[in-house]
Structure 1
């Protein structure tokens, strides 16, 4: 039985975008589903546009998404000798030829064809023996068959047939000897024994050209699966104007990698009406054959829903490292405060992203400079002095600083003073959090911690005293 081998082969000319991430996920899932191999290859032959920073951005994105590779990363720039060897093989076998046509001739040919309404293509001028031209370095062109057709069964789009007379003799090596995309892809996938190529449907037109090169090399082409593009909510192709398109932007905005993977897998693939998938379920259930050929639209609200679901559902210990990154990015020192797992357990119900969670949890780690004016005006009045003093005394010697014990303590103070819970809890909330919004008062006390809570209540009492003096 042949081992399934898939590959993800991005070009390092920018960040890892959402469409590329979904392709990588599909490749990874298909390989894992069939207990095969997943190969990572960096297609960096565009020497002008490829950068080390872009390579690192791709590697960072793959690591953050937890899409581990079995082999690689391979770099095309380290395989130029191999490409040159195959070019020479094709030349020696008469399956490729040198083309001496100047750029000016090619441009004039293209312009004339466009005037005539004909699809621009090379006319084969040097196909049967071009003469060297002084001052011109030749390219190498693949001798594409002129008869027959290319037929392949795409695992997403079904059977596709292209007539060879629609294809021209594509350049496989530039004047400086550097190889071109359609050629390097074939050599790489052949050498790396890739059995299934999963990629965007913008590559469909490349596939018949590549199949002809495989056959010229005596190699068996892999299977192909061309997945549909991702659209924005306006039906246009997903771009920067729709919001974040870089995978790492989603990390920065506070999304869990599992939530993004869960969302991306549903863009074009489904398993009944199921929306939520664990990582194991995705591996077990995914099949490239079930991917829809229609383009899918990106829905940020659904991503937000999934993100909150996984923040609440995953063990807090799994979420905490991602929350730690957010705190660090915001410059918040979490060494002096509650455990991040406890923060997750309290805050996950209240926010949609980890960024919101970190921003709203700052008060558990850092003191605030001033009370929210509206909340202080409403709740830190002289009438609040008595309940705040009472709760401070009750909390001072409390040995069990747990949510249950804290809830009992606040209720006991309210009962002793014969006032409603709100008369104690709301002034206490403003004292602890600086505003009128926080988790339940027992959880707020728990996360603020005993020493910090007592200090903040004392600060609120001082604020009330100053306010009372000003009003006297």
Structure 2
């Protein structure tokens, strides 16, 4: 059997780090098991679903390194859902209901007042054909509910009916169907709800494993009943913990917070995002993993905590720096060239400055300092000006190497009597215009003797 998983977002906004955690878990599970990953858009909500959001999701997943075996759109599969709905109607487990939302709310309150569970009482099952004709003549259109198998012979004599599965993340899970209302699968306008379309697609696309958020646990109990009513095999299920913001708030598409697009525009590395999204809230240490294959090796859905995890951008910053500091020039080359950093000394420059960067884009500032002169952030103190001028008179002759900095500062130390910060800091400010940065031993050969002398105050 081929392991087949899916990521099924609604294209009603830009995917955020919480959505992406689900996508990454499925992608890594497929990689680990030599399986396939399907991207499936739940776009049957024609009002809120937008092509631009679907296209952005495809681009975001591509940036992360997730490569779907195929892309599906539920809006193009309506005939498949129509056929499945007819099968359930023929089996007598999909029945028409005519209550308005106001009527349903009144019935719910009445059940609560009678100390009964606030679930749908299946009143529509008592309607005769004549009753239905009358309601429809009044202009009412039915919505259709799935009859949960939580009774023996009499659908009004509901009894405890447990659905069990061995969860890939949470071990044994149980949902009692007696505690739930019969779910609406078809709206009054004939459109389908996710609960139904997801099941039909999972069957049709032979999804073997479903990994999604633990907010779907109850929904899974309902969907198992629908899958079995359609005569199909239930996939293996896994429910992972949800992510919150650092302050504990839920992450929503509506706010745009922590969207993958915004993280990409902010200069984060895709593997920094993937590493934190996958490893946070697991028993694994959160480290900067260099590539998806390595992350797949250490990935284990069963190592995931059951409680929610906080996504802290400060941790993302640390992972991003770690990846950049270890990044070989070949990996950064094209992106550096896009910043105008190219030529025979580009690799030497990269190796000199990468340990001081938080984003690859930060390299542009250092390239400008090397090419055009010091920044203007820091100015020499008056008492250091004469010292620096004298120090420049002691510059060694070329050729220069990484050892030149030590040769120069040793000579300056002997001549001036200065050492430590009083010696090094004025030279750094004169050369770069900044009080911190890459090792000057690495920068001097890039500047060359002529370029260094040009910075004499």
TM-score tier after normalising by the smaller chain length: 0.7 to 0.9
Distance 1:336 1:213, change over 3 A: same
User: What's the CA shift for 1:375?
Assistant: 2.4
Mapping of 1:20-39 within 5 angstroms?
Answer: 20-39=19-38
Unaligned 5+ runs, structure 1: 328-332, 465-472
Distance 1:48 1:19, change over 3 A: same
Distance 1:367 1:104, change over 3 A: same
Aligned mates of 1:336, 1:344 — CA distance in 2: 11
Matched, 1:311 2:324: yes
- Corresponding residue number in structure 2 for 1:65: 64
User: Is this contact kept in 1: 2:429–2:435, CA < 8 A?
Assistant: yes
- Corresponding residue number in structure 1 for 2:44: 45
SS of the counterpart of 2:43? coil
Aligned Cα root-mean-square deviation (Å):
3.5
Distance 1:429 1:211, change over 3 A: same
Aligned mates of 2:39, 2:31 — CA distance in 1: 14
Matched, 1:388 2:401: no
Match of 1:334 among 330, 341, 348: 341
- Corresponding residue number in structure 2 for 1:101: 99
1:391-415 C-alpha deviation (Å, 9 max, x unpaired): 4xx67xx4x56444x4367458748
**Greater shift in the superposed pair: 33-42 or 194-203:** 33-42
Match of 1:255 among 245, 261, 268: 268
User: What's the CA shift for 1:62?
Assistant: 0.9
Match of 1:145 among 142, 149, 152: 149
- Corresponding residue number in structure 2 for 1:11: 10
Distance 1:104 1:205, change over 3 A: same
Match of 1:127 among 125, 128, 134: 125
TM-score with structure 1 length normalisation?
Answer: 0.80
Aligned mates of 1:324, 1:79 — CA distance in 2: 44
- Aligned residue pairs total 440
Matched, 1:350 2:362: no
- Corresponding residue number in structure 2 for 1:468: none
Distance 1:366 1:57, change over 3 A: farther
Higher relative contact order (CA 8 A, sep 6+): 2
SS of the counterpart of 1:73? strand
- Corresponding residue number in structure 1 for 2:282: 269
Matched, 1:371 2:376: yes
Distance 1:119 1:247, change over 3 A: farther
TM-score with structure 2 length normalisation?
Answer: 0.83
Distance 1:415 1:202, change over 3 A: closer
Mapping of 1:69-84 within 5 angstroms?
Answer: 69-70=68-69, 72-84=70-82
Distance 1:356 1:334, change over 3 A: closer
Distance 1:218 1:411, change over 3 A: same
User: What's the CA shift for 1:165?
Assistant: 2.0
1:179-226 C-alpha deviation (Å, 9 max, x unpaired): 111001101111111111000001111111111110111011111100
User: What's the CA shift for 1:363?
Assistant: 2.4
Distance 1:448 1:97, change over 3 A: farther
Mapping of 1:51-450 within 5 angstroms?
Answer: 51-70=50-69, 72-113=70-111, 118-129=116-127, 131-132=132-133, 133=135, 134-147=138-151, 148-237=161-250, 245-271=258-284, 275=287, 277-279=289-291, 280-321=293-334, 327=339, 333-334=340-341, 338-339=345-346, 341-354=347-360, 356-359=362-365, 362-364=368-370, 371-372=376-377, 374-378=378-382, 381-388=385-392, 391=395, 398=398, 400=399, 402-404=401-403, 406-407=404-405, 410-411=408-409, 414=412, 428-448=427-447
Distance 1:365 1:46, change over 3 A: farther
Distance 1:448 1:94, change over 3 A: farther
User: Is this contact kept in 1: 2:283–2:304, CA < 8 A?
Assistant: yes
User: What's the CA shift for 1:321?
Assistant: 4.6
SS of the counterpart of 1:30? helix
User: Is this contact kept in 2: 1:337–1:447, CA < 8 A?
Assistant: no
SS of the counterpart of 1:137? coil
Unaligned 5+ runs, structure 2: 152-160
User: Is this contact kept in 2: 1:65–1:261, CA < 8 A?
Assistant: yes
Aligned mates of 1:62, 1:441 — CA distance in 2: 40
Distance 1:166 1:334, change over 3 A: same
1:78-100 C-alpha deviation (Å, 9 max, x unpaired): 11121122112222332212222
SS of the counterpart of 1:57? helix
Distance 1:274 1:177, change over 3 A: closer
1:398-437 C-alpha deviation (Å, 9 max, x unpaired): 4x56444x43674587489677688886555334322333
